[in-house]
């Protein structure tokens, strides 16, 4: 859905970056372990007339190398995970726009800073930090925008925060949907995301 976009939203970029780290780390650790397994399986294979297997000398370097390489790979992935949390937690931006999101059976209600609300369509200005205060009117729902790597539970009596920043304008049909089975209408519990210019947003809010 983001094809043709000039820039990648920051939350999406962070999760893409982490996924690459995890895949590379897993390939290094997994490749080393499986490589050793195959090497030893061939080297010590059963051969006709060979003496029965006996315990050989300890190969300490193998143990140290396996632990060190796996530790480095996992440590690097863990470091990158914690280093990325600053991009995932809700930013402290004084210009952020806060919108209340209320899930219900079956739809999404968006309440804007001016008190107006809309059902089934979330309108936001491009390039601005959008903070969502997510709750539910009835049962558990999960608010999600897959293309922006946003997902947060909507729980009655509780407010969970999520944020995103969409660099470019556009209209994204059914970009928002529920990710928690919540009843017979769950599969239709969708909403559109409309990203507009600053001036259109000012008009949308009325008087600015
Ligand atoms: Cu649902």
User: pLDDT tens-digit profile of 163-198?
Assistant: 999 989 999 999 999 999 999 999 999 999 999 999
C-alpha 148 to ligand 1 mean position (Å): 19
97 cis-preceded (ω within 30 degrees of 0): no
How much distance in Å is there from the Cα of 180 to the middle of ligand 1?
5
Write the DSSP symbol of residue 146.
G
The CA 139 to ligand 1 mean position distance, Å, reads 8
Give the model's pLDDT for residue 37. Answer: 93
* Residues within 5 A (CB) of ion ligand 1: 141, 178, 182, 186, 189
Judge whether 88 and 14 are in contact, CB under 8 Å. yes
Ligand 1 mean position, distance from CA 182 (Å):
4
Cα-to-centroid distance, 22 and ligand 1 (Å) = 30
**Using one digit for the tens of pLDDT, what is the confidence trace for 111-125?**
999 999 999 999 999
Q: In terms of Cα–Cα distance, which of 176, 172, 175 is closest to 134?
A: 176
- The string of pLDDT tens digits covering residues 6-17 is 456 778 888 888
Name residue 196's beta-bridge partners.
125
């Amino acid at each position: 859905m983001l094809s043709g976009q000039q820039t990648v939203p920051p939350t999406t970029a962070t999760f893409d970056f982490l996924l690459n780290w995890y895949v590379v780390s897993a390939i290094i650790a997994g490749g080393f372990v499986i490589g050793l397994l195959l090497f030893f399986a061939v080297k010590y294979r059963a051969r006709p007339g060979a003496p029965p297997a006996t315990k050989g000398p300890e190969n300490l370097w193998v143990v140290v190398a396996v632990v060190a390489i796996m530790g480095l790979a996992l440590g690097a992935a863990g470091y990158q995970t914690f280093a990325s949390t600053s991009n995932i937690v809700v930013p402290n931006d004084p210009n952020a726009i806060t919108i209340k999101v209320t899930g219900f059976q079956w739809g999404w209600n968006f309440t804007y800073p001016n008190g107006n609300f809309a059902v089934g369509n979330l309108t936001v200005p491009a390039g601005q930090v959008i903070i969502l205060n997510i709750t539910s009117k009835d049962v558990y729902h999960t608010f999600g925008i897959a293309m922006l790597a946003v997902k947060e539970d909507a729980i009655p009596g509780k407010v969970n925060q999520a944020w995103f920043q969409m660099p470019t304008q556009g209209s994204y049909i059914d970009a928002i949907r529920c990710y928690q089975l919540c009843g017979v209408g769950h599969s239709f519990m969708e909403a559109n995301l409309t990203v507009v210019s600053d001036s259109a947003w000012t008009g949308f809010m009325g008087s600015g």
